[in-house]
Structures are given as structure tokens and as C-alpha cells.
Structure 1
Amino acid sequence: MPLDHRRVRGPEESQPPELWGGTRKDEEEEEDEDEAPRDPCALRPLFVRAGLLSQAEGSAYLELGGGTKVLCAAWGPREAGELGATGGGQLLCEFRRAPFAGRGARWRPGTATEREAEREAAAALREALEPAVRLSRYPRARLAVSALLLQDGGSALAAAISAAALALADAGVEMYDLAVGCALCRSSGPAAPWMLQPAEPEERRAVARLTVALLPALNQVSAVLGGGQGSPPDTWAQALRLGIDGCHRLYPVLRQSLLRAARRRDAAAATTA
């Protein structure tokens, strides 16, 4: 009898995948236990570069030491049409996660949960950026910024806020100041401290989370986003002060990146001329 080469023969012995379901979880727990404790007020190493994409009018790439990687692009101002016939300009924000950004089965691409999380993150991004942009200078115009999360290593929304503000400034959009984002989290326990720029394992164990967006030059908070339980009001005030201090410490790094991008653009224009 001739063989059917269109069929793939399976192994003679097989085992159900449920037997291996706990392997990944055990590995994650071991990684969490092996992680060395760090100073809760210490900031993670930060790498940021503006003017990275030639296809966009403004762009920025930001990477945190915990593994978070965000790429942002900005466009505008462009004519808004009938939607922007009255009032000031419009700021459109988009937040997307790459299919490989999550860890394990935490995120499934295309699911309703992921789409809802992306819409909430986009709304939070707009809330944090709108006070920093001079929308009154762009009547009947539309500005757009898109954030792509390449890898989620913790503090993803705060990183997206900083990168998006840097991309808008790189695009030449008039702004009052750069919006700087800083995330915090707190694990269970009465004496547990707030952690600045938490990594993904720290966020997974947290019972309370907070993201602060600040305009450092004006010393104005543009957004406070968070939630949780088991934390008295005094600890939330302490977390807000800690987040504001973290934003002030991140601000010089973002400014230097913007200045370097402007110098590279001027050098390229001089070479072309």
C-alpha cells in the first residue's frame, strides 16, 4: 500500500501539555527569589535617543534597564477637516503592544483584553501629554503620536509618556515643557516601601501602582494614574512626592537627548548644503 506523504506521523508516545504547565511558573518564581534587592529610591539605567526614524516628523526610542523598550513617532500638525473646524488643535494618541512584548501567556495578541488595555493606555497617554502641548497654537489642526511597546519589562506606560513627549518635541511641536513619566509600585505588607521604576516581577507582586507625569520646568503634574489596595492615604502622598523627585532626576537625560538630535540634524543639513 503506498504511503500518504501528506500526513505527518506523530510520535508513538506522547504526553499531555498540562504536565508541563507549571514549569514556566516555577522558573519565574525562582527568578524572583534570585533577584537581588535594590534601593527603592534608585532609578534604573536609562537609554534614550531622539530623531531615530526618518519616516516620521519626530521620533524617540527609550529603553530601561529592566528590559522595557518603547519606540514612539509623531506627526503633524495636519489639517483636521470638519472635526477640527472649531476650537483648538487635537492630539491623537495611539498605544500598541508588539505581539512579542509580553512575557509568557500574559498577553495574547488580538484578544479583547489586549485591545481594551491598549485603549486605556492610549487615553492615559493623551491625558499626560495634552497639558504639555500648546494646542491653542494649532487651531483646526491635528497632531498624532504613536507608541509601540517592543518589550514590557515594567514601567511601560511611564516610559511611553517620556518617549512620546520627546517625539513631539523632536517633531518641532510647540510645547510648554517635556512631560516626564515615572512609575511606582508597592508590594503587600505594612512596611513595604514604594519602588521607583519597578521591573516586571515587581509589578506582578504589587498590590498598588502609581504613574506620575510631570512638567519639570513648570513643576506641574500633568497626570496621576494609579490604583490598588491596602495603602493608607499618607503612603500615597509619599509615593507622589517620590514620583515627582524621580521625574526631576530623569528630566536632564531627556533634554540632552533632544539637544543631541538637534545637533545631528544641523550637521546633516550643513553637509547636504
Structure 2
Amino acid sequence: MPGDHRRIRGPEESQPPSLYAPAPDEDDDAAEERAGVPRDPARLRPVYARAGLLSQAKGSAYLEAGRTKVLCAVSGPRPVEGERGAAAGGAGGRLLCDFRRAPFSGPRRRGAGGGAEERELALALQEALEPAVRLGRYPRAQLELSALLLEDGGSALAAALTAASLALADAGIEMYDLVVGCALSRGLEPAAAWLLDPTRREEERAAVAGLLGSGEASAPDSWADGVRLGLEGCQRLYPVLQQCLLKAARRRAPP
């Protein structure tokens, strides 16, 4: 309509946005492979962490590690009555963990059973976090932690564990120390080296991923090397988490 001045004329030529979007499996390691750059086995992807994002939660944390993005929230402690309260009492309170994948987080992994996989990862979170939380301070009460995987770019469980630890500390839950997660993977070749903080592509090509008993590894010395590499990665991440909590405390401090 020539007389309709409300319409905004677009450019005469345009390109679809998919032209500029990276391929689904594109990542920094893939680019390095094409350029012939060897992968540093001890490298950690860039990490961004922030605590105290969700005002509705007692504590929260958001963490990015490469393309992996996780959001965690903590509620409680809440008193529990009846039989559940008796189960939560005794030695101390209970920590309940929930793990969910956002529908847009990425394609399911081969052999993943949907809800069964999420329940397994939630149990892994609980088993890793419980020893660090002073549950004896919360008798007949329960703490609830939820982790939402927004994007799966590899090492998702390790990122969720680190973010969950930050969220618990942000909630003021008494802990012995922070919990830091680092993932490891190892290729199919007998002489393959351990890789720290694997991407999704590296996990799919690995014979062993993480230290939860998946895959096979015949040489005990190889496992010792993997554990050593993982501990070094955790030590490098630990100061990042400390600074994240300090920044959150400063934001909350009165002027």
C-alpha cells in the first residue's frame, strides 16, 4: 500500500539467519581439529558463574562451562512431620536432589532413557553433595535442590554439581566445604590420553566418561592419572567459585 506510512520497508536483499548460525555439533575443539591444533588434555573451557540470580529461591546459582549451561535452586530447610520427619531425623536432615533437562537443551544421548537418566543424575548429585552438607544441623528437616540443564555441551553432570554447591552456599546452608565437579573422558585407543572437561563430541567418542563406573579401563595406573588430572582441574576451579560467592555477598550487603 503506497499510502501506508506505518509499514517499515525492509532491505531489498536478505539472508536466512541459519547462514550465520554455527553447525549443531560445532564447538571450539572442532575448529581446532580442522586447524590441526592439538587438544590440551588439561584445558578447562571458559567458566562463568553467578550466585543469587533467583529472588524466589533461598539460594541459586547459574554456571556456564563452554556451551554447557546449568541453573540450580535451593529451598528449605523445611520441617517434615510424620513418618517422613522421622526418616529425616536421627542423624540429621535430608537432602533431596532433582535433575531435569530442558526440552531445548539438546538431543538425547544414545541409550538415554529420558526420566531414568534424569533420576540417575539426580542420585549422583545427592551422593556427591550429602557428605559436604552438615545435615546434622537440620534434624527432622529437608533441603530441596533442583538442577535444570539449559544446554548440554558436555560435562553436564560436573557442571550441575558445581552449580549445586554454589546454590547451597548461596542459601546459607552449613557446609564443610564447596564441592567442585570435573569430568574426564578417554578415547577408544589403548594409548589414548585422559581429557579434562570433555565437550559433547568428545564424550560421544569416548570409551570412558566420568568416574561413575561407566565404560571400561583395564590399567589401574591409567585411572590414577585420570584422578590426578581431575583433582588438578578442581583445584583450578575452586578460586573461581570463591570469587563468585564473594561477589554475591557484596551485592547483598547494604550500601
TM-score by length of 1: 0.77
Deviations along 1:151-206, whole A, 9 cap, x unmatched? 00000000000000100000010000001000000011122110000000000000
Question: Measured at CA, do residues 235 and 167 of structure 1 come closer, stay the same or move farther in structure 2, by a change above 3 Å?
Answer: same
Please list, as runs of the form range in 1=range in 2, the aligned pairs for 1:8-23 lying within 5 A after superposition. none
Identify the match of residue 104 of structure 2 among 91, 100, 106: 100
Aligned to 2:147: 147
1:77 equivalent to 2:66? Answer no
1:239 equivalent to 2:243? Answer no
Does structure 2 retain, via aligned residues, the 8 Å contact 1:159–1:181?
A: yes
Aligned to 2:93: 89
Rounded to whole Å, the distance in 2 between the matches of 1:94 and 1:27 is 30
Rounded to whole Å, the distance in 1 between the matches of 2:105 and 2:51 is 21
* Displacement after TM superposition at 1:252 (Å): 0.4
Q: Percent identical across equivalent pairs?
A: 64
Rounded to whole Å, the distance in 2 between the matches of 1:61 and 1:43 is 18
Rounded to whole Å, the distance in 1 between the matches of 2:24 and 2:58 is 43
Query: Alignment RMSD, CA only?
Result: 2.3
1:117 equivalent to 2:117? Answer yes
Task: Name the amino acid aligned to 1:260.
Answer: K
Aligned to 1:39: 40
Aligned to 2:248: 261
Q: Which runs of 4+ in 1 moved over 2 A?
A: 24-28, 31-37, 105-108
Deviations along 1:12-48, whole A, 9 cap, x unmatched? xxxxxxxxxxxx99999xx585374320011111000
Task: Name the amino acid aligned to 2:251.
Answer: R
* Structure 1: runs of 5 or more not aligned: 1-23, 212-224
Aligned to 1:249: 236
Task: Name the amino acid aligned to 2:105.
Answer: A
* Displacement after TM superposition at 1:106 (Å): 4.0
Aligned residues: 225
Deviations along 1:40-92, whole A, 9 cap, x unmatched? 01111100000011110100000012x00000000111112221223110000
Does structure 2 retain, via aligned residues, the 8 Å contact 1:50–1:60?
A: yes
Does structure 2 retain, via aligned residues, the 8 Å contact 1:62–1:163?
A: yes
